[in-house]
Amino acid sequence: MTHRSPPKSNRRQGEVTIPAPDHAHDERNERWQQQEEAAAAATRDIADVPAVEVITTTAVHLMSAAAVKLGLADDPDNQLDLDEARKLINALAGLITAGASEISDMHARSLRDGLRSLQLAFREASVIPDPIGKGPGEKWTGPVN
């Protein structure tokens, strides 16, 4: 085994190497700043959003999530989860029941129709159906059949 000396540096002692400017880093930072500004411009301040819109948007999100968990989306074999669907439908029923007096009848009616459709889909998807009045959300909406 032969031992080698470490390679000699081309730098003279005391000489400092200044790295070249990192243009890729500058461009990445600039792109990030532009994206942040675009996101800020697209996002409304929550203080500007009316309560009716917050309630209805939340209800629509709960409905969509419940529909997916009921297997009503694009991959029912992998997305069906009745336990999760029950939780979402219960939350939706509570929101609609509590918020109905705060939103217009037009909004409340369409949300109730969507809720009822989900409750019926849950009953249909269940191998062992809940007794009438004991299904998801029926505590707040009354029996659905």
Q: What is the pLDDT of residue 83?
A: 97
Structure tokens of 130?
């809940």
128 CA to centre of own chain: 30
| Every domain of the chain and the residues it spans | 48-141
Q: Which of 4-8, 78-82, 96-100, 137-141 has the lowest mean pLDDT?
A: 4-8
pTM, whole model, 2 decimals? 0.69
Tokens representing residue 46 in the block? 């929550």
pLDDT of residue 6: 61
pLDDT 10s digits, 26-59: 888 888 888 888 777 667 677 788 999 999 999 9
Token output for 33 = 């700043």
Per the prediction, the chain carries an average pLDDT of: 86
